[in-house]
Structure 1
Amino acid sequence: MSSQSTPTSPSPTPSPETPRSPPSSGAPFLRITEIFHSIQGESTWAGLPCTFVRLTGCPLRCAWCDTEYSFHGGERQSLDEIEARVDDLSGGPRTPAPLVEITGGEPLIHRGAFELARRLADRGYRVLVETSGSEDIAPLDPRVHVIMDLKCPGSGEVARNRWENLDALDHLDEVKFVIADQADWEWTAEVIRTRGLDRRIADGTLRALLISPVWGAAGPDPEDVARWILESGLPVRMQTQLHKHIWGAEKKGV
């Protein structure tokens, strides 16, 4: 697909059932699905201890989504409560590896997520934000490491990609492509080339390009994905979901 045929879409409006945090006031609140301590399973940070803050709600409905339980429900918590729980689970920002990931759902539909990321960074945490890229990432604190999950056609949500977000990424940030089949791979390779993402890896203005096969029988054979990558010559990193290798695909809170 050419760069002209990868459509630029405005940020989608969340569906009515998607919860939003109230406007920022002294202590904004967020709706939380879960907060847990585990091994980071995807990205260049995979394998490291990490505390995850999973926010509730997402306007996308990806065909292969593995966190549908985060679409609804959740518990309303203040930023102070969230920070205290992160401290309890991680040991605090002075631990040797104070890694925190804000995820979802789609965390950036919540205005308070930007404030939470800033506050955690202020306290010394290394903060990752995993986002679909359907929301504007520009307001994120520059210390945040963005992991942007650009949607391939097989997700059913390719029209939600907010292409201008690519321009807001920097040397701390990563782009992930979840590959459902060879057509997704071919689309991904074309996007990388036409959008100049391979050149950004070479010049150090982007941290990594991640290729993640859809897990299990619904996805491609990992050997095929490895072959496509090797034949392409592109500077991409193949990954699988480490946490699923450890605990299986169904367990939550890992």
Structure 2
Amino acid sequence: MMDSELRITEIFYSLQGESNTVGIPTAFIRLTGCPLRCSYCDTAYAFSGGQKMTIADILAEVQTYQCQYVTVTGGEPLAQPGCLTLMTHLADLGFYVSLETSGALDISAVDARIVKVMDLKTPSSGELSKNRYENLAFLTAKDQVKFVIGSQEDYEWSKAWLVEQRLHETCQILFSPVADQQNPTELAEHILRDRLPVRFQVQLHKLLWHDARGK
């Protein structure tokens, strides 16, 4: 399976900008393609194009960065079936591997060693109907559910899901404001006011490098 090919938009080395490993030097593997078209998407360049690479070549490039952490992202990485094999090989090499997924595709076959960072799409995303709620059953304490919040409606919807489903008892919960749409201070104040058991996060890489690719 090492000669299996995946279509890759980019492989790069940067600081993790999101999740509970924010700030840690990380190798990123961005797979090409996504079945969703979220209104706030900041990686539309990964919808198409890219180049085909074998899993062996991907692993070799990642190892040149000499870091412990690897994030597999997209697009939607699970849209390519070979992503599952890639992540297993990365874990076999001893990497701490996280998967950034939209939550629209089945995560049940993801290697148990992989940290899943899964979105639940909020109303303003325009893709609320794509949420695959069955995926929640496959999350564990090491995983994370991310709500990207762009409006008061998004906040209320996310809070309701968190409270009613008690998601924080299953895994870590991330609330993240949409850049240039949701005031981050206002979101932080809402979280404090409502005593929500979540991690507030902003996109560190955008503060440091704005919208530069490969960062």
CA distance in 2, matches of 1:60, 1:195: 25
Give the corresponding residue for 1:253. Answer: 214
RMSD: 1.0
The structure 2 residue matched to 1:212, chosen from 165, 171, 176, is 176
State the SS of the aligned residue for 1:124: coil
CA distance in 2, matches of 1:223, 1:124: 38
The structure 1 residue matched to 2:121, chosen from 151, 156, 162, is 151
Give the corresponding residue for 1:48. Answer: 24
The structure 2 residue matched to 1:243, chosen from 186, 205, 215, is 205
CA distance in 1, matches of 2:106, 2:205: 28
> TM-score normalized by structure 1?
0.83
Give the corresponding residue for 2:107. Answer: 137
The structure 2 residue matched to 1:86, chosen from 62, 65, 90, is 62
CA distance in 2, matches of 1:109, 1:220: 29
State the SS of the aligned residue for 1:215: coil
State the SS of the aligned residue for 1:84: helix
Q: Deviations over 1:154-204 (max 9, x none)?
A: 000010000010110001100110000111000000011122213x1xxxx
- Long gaps (5+) in structure 1: 1-24, 92-96
Give the corresponding residue for 1:126. Answer: 96
Kept in 1: contact 2:119–2:148 (CA 8 A): yes
State the SS of the aligned residue for 1:130: strand
CA distance in 1, matches of 2:113, 2:2: 22
- Code of the residue aligned with 2:111 in structure 1: it is D
State the SS of the aligned residue for 1:44: helix
Q: How does 1:1-254 map to 2 (within 5 A)?
A: 25=1, 27-88=3-64, 90-91=65-66, 97-198=67-168, 200=169, 205-206=170-171, 208-216=172-180, 219-248=181-210, 250-254=211-215
Per the TM alignment, residue 104 of structure 1 is displaced from its structure 2 partner at its CA by: 0.1
- Code of the residue aligned with 1:50 in structure 2: it is T
CA distance in 1, matches of 2:2, 2:17: 34
Kept in 1: contact 2:32–2:75 (CA 8 A): yes
Q: Deviations over 1:196-228 (max 9, x none)?
A: 213x1xxxx41x110100012xx1211210111
Per the TM alignment, residue 26 of structure 1 is displaced from its structure 2 partner at its CA by: 5.6
Per the TM alignment, residue 247 of structure 1 is displaced from its structure 2 partner at its CA by: 0.6
Against the structure 1 CA distance between its residues 164 and 232, is the aligned structure 2 distance closer, same or farther, given a 3 Å change threshold?
same
Q: 4+ runs of 1 displaced by more than 4 Å?
A: none
Kept in 1: contact 2:2–2:56 (CA 8 A): no
- Long gaps (5+) in structure 2: none
- Code of the residue aligned with 1:131 in structure 2: it is T
CA distance in 1, matches of 2:195, 2:206: 28
CA distance in 1, matches of 2:34, 2:158: 23
CA distance in 1, matches of 2:11, 2:93: 18
> TM-score normalized by structure 2?
0.98
Q: How many residues align?
A: 215
Against the structure 1 CA distance between its residues 119 and 211, is the aligned structure 2 distance closer, same or farther, given a 3 Å change threshold?
same
Larger Rg: 1
Against the structure 1 CA distance between its residues 30 and 187, is the aligned structure 2 distance closer, same or farther, given a 3 Å change threshold?
same
Give the corresponding residue for 1:13. Answer: none
CA distance in 1, matches of 2:8, 2:165: 35
Kept in 1: contact 2:15–2:24 (CA 8 A): yes
